[in-house]
Chains A and B, each alone.
Chain A
Amino acid sequence: MKRWIRWQGVLWFAVLVALIGVFWVLLIDILVEKGIETGGTKVVGARVELAEADVTFAPLGVTLHGLQVTNPDKPMSNAVEAGRIAFNVDFRPLLQRKFNVEEMAVQKLRFDTPRERSGAIEKKKRKEREEGKIAIAGFELPSAKEILAREELKSIEKITDLNERIGNLRSEWEGRTDQLPGPEEIQEYRDRIEKIKAGGKGVTGALSTASAVSELKKDISADRDRLKSTYADYRDQLEELRTEVDEARKAPAEEVRRLMDKYALSPSGGLNLTRLLFGDKIAGWVGSGLQWHSRLKPFYDRAVAKAKEPKKVKPLRAEGTDVLFKEHAPKPDFLIRHINLSAETKKGNFDGTIRNVTGQQHLIGAPLKISLDAEGLPELESARFKGSFDRTEPEAPRDTVSASVAGYRATNLQLSGRQGFPVLLESGRVNLDLNAELVSGRLKAEIDSRIRDATLQIEPEGKNDVAETIASALRGISTASLKANVSGTPEDYDIDLSSDLERVLQQAVGQVLQEKAQGLKATLREKVVERTQEPLEKLDTRFENYLDIKGVFDRRLDSFDELLSELVRSKSGVDLPF
Chain B
Amino acid sequence: MLRLLARLLKALNSESDPGQISLALCFAMICGFTPLFSPHNIIVLFLALVLRVNLSGFLVGLPVFSALSYALDPLFHRFGLALLTAEPLQGFWTALYNTTFFRLDRFNNSIVMGSLVFSLIAFVPCYFLFNRLIRAYRSQVMEWVRKSRIAVAIKGSKFYQIYRTVSGWRA
A residues near B106, Cβ cutoff 8 Å: 97, 322
Q: Mark B94-137, 1 if CB is under 8 A from A, else 0.
A: 10011010011010111110100000000000000000000000
B residues near A578, Cβ cutoff 8 Å: none
By beta carbon, the residue of chain B nearest A327 is B98
* Bound CA span A13–B51, Å: 11
B residues near A13, Cβ cutoff 8 Å: 45-46, 49-50
Q: Is the CB of B49 within 8 A of A319?
A: no
Q: Is the CB of A318 within 8 A of B111?
A: yes
B residues near A12, Cβ cutoff 8 Å: 49
Chain A interface size range: 20 to 34
B residues near A317, Cβ cutoff 8 Å: 69-70, 73, 111
By beta carbon, the residue of chain A nearest B112 is A320
Q: Is the CB of B104 within 8 A of A323?
A: no
B residues near A5, Cβ cutoff 8 Å: 50-52
**Which of B52, B90, B112 is A6 in contact with, Cβ under 8 Å?**
B52
* Bound CA span A321–B74, Å: 11
**Which of B42, B51, B98, B109 is A320 in contact with, Cβ under 8 Å?**
B109
* Bound CA span A321–B45, Å: 26
Q: Is the CB of B103 within 8 A of A96?
A: yes
Q: Which of A69-111 contact B (CB under 8 A)?
A: 92, 95-97
Q: Is the CB of A325 within 8 A of B108?
A: yes
Please count how many residues in chain B sit with their CB below 8 Å of the partner chain's CB atoms.
34
Q: Is the CB of B90 within 8 A of A323?
A: no
Q: Does B148 contact A (CB under 8 A)?
A: no
Q: Does B63 contact A (CB under 8 A)?
A: no
Indicate the member of B49, B77, B81, B85 with the most A CB atoms within 10 Å: B49
* Bound CA span A315–B71, Å: 11
By beta carbon, the residue of chain B nearest A325 is B97
Q: Is the CB of A323 within 8 A of B110?
A: yes
A residues near B76, Cβ cutoff 8 Å: 315, 320
Looking at the assembled complex, report how far the CB atom of B63 sits from the nearest CB atom of chain A, in whole angstroms: 14
Q: Mark B19-39, 1 if CB is under 8 A from A, else 0.
A: 000000000000000010000
* Bound CA span A521–B110, Å: 67
* Bound CA span A326–B91, Å: 10
A95-B104, A315-B111 known; A321-B81 Cβ under 8 A: yes
* Bound CA span A319–B78, Å: 13
Q: Does A308 contact B (CB under 8 A)?
A: yes
* Bound CA span A308–B93, Å: 10
Q: Does B57 contact A (CB under 8 A)?
A: no
Indicate the member of A7, A324, A325 with the most B CB atoms within 10 Å: A325
* Bound CA span A4–B17, Å: 11
Q: Is the CB of A16 within 8 A of B51?
A: no
Q: Is the CB of B109 within 8 A of A316?
A: no
**Which of A3, A10, A17, A323 is B108 in contact with, Cβ under 8 Å?**
A323
B residues near A16, Cβ cutoff 8 Å: 45, 49
* Bound CA span A206–B168, Å: 134
B residues near A9, Cβ cutoff 8 Å: 46, 49-51
Q: Mark A438-472, 1 if CB is under 8 A from B, else 0.
A: 00000000000000000000000000000000000
Q: Which of A297-312 contact B (CB under 8 A)?
A: 308, 310
Q: Does A126 contact B (CB under 8 A)?
A: no
Q: Is the CB of B70 within 8 A of A315?
A: no
Q: Does A176 contact B (CB under 8 A)?
A: no
**Which of A6, A92, A328 is B51 in contact with, Cβ under 8 Å?**
A6
By beta carbon, the residue of chain B nearest A323 is B84
By beta carbon, the residue of chain B nearest A15 is B49
A13-B45, A310-B81, A316-B73 known; A324-B50 Cβ under 8 A: no
Please list the residues of chain A having a beta carbon within 8 angstroms of any beta carbon in chain B. 3-7, 9-10, 12-13, 16-17, 92, 95-97, 308, 310, 315-328
Q: A5-B51, A13-B46 provided; 5 other pairs, C-beta below 8 A?
A: A320-B76, A320-B114, A321-B81, A325-B93, A326-B94
The 11 listed contacts between A and B (C-beta, < 8 Å) are A5-B52, A6-B51, A95-B103, A97-B103, A315-B76, A317-B111, A320-B81, A320-B110, A323-B85, A324-B97, A325-B98
What 7 A-B pairs come out closest when comparing CB atoms? A320-B111, A315-B77, A9-B49, A325-B97, A9-B50, A320-B110, A96-B103
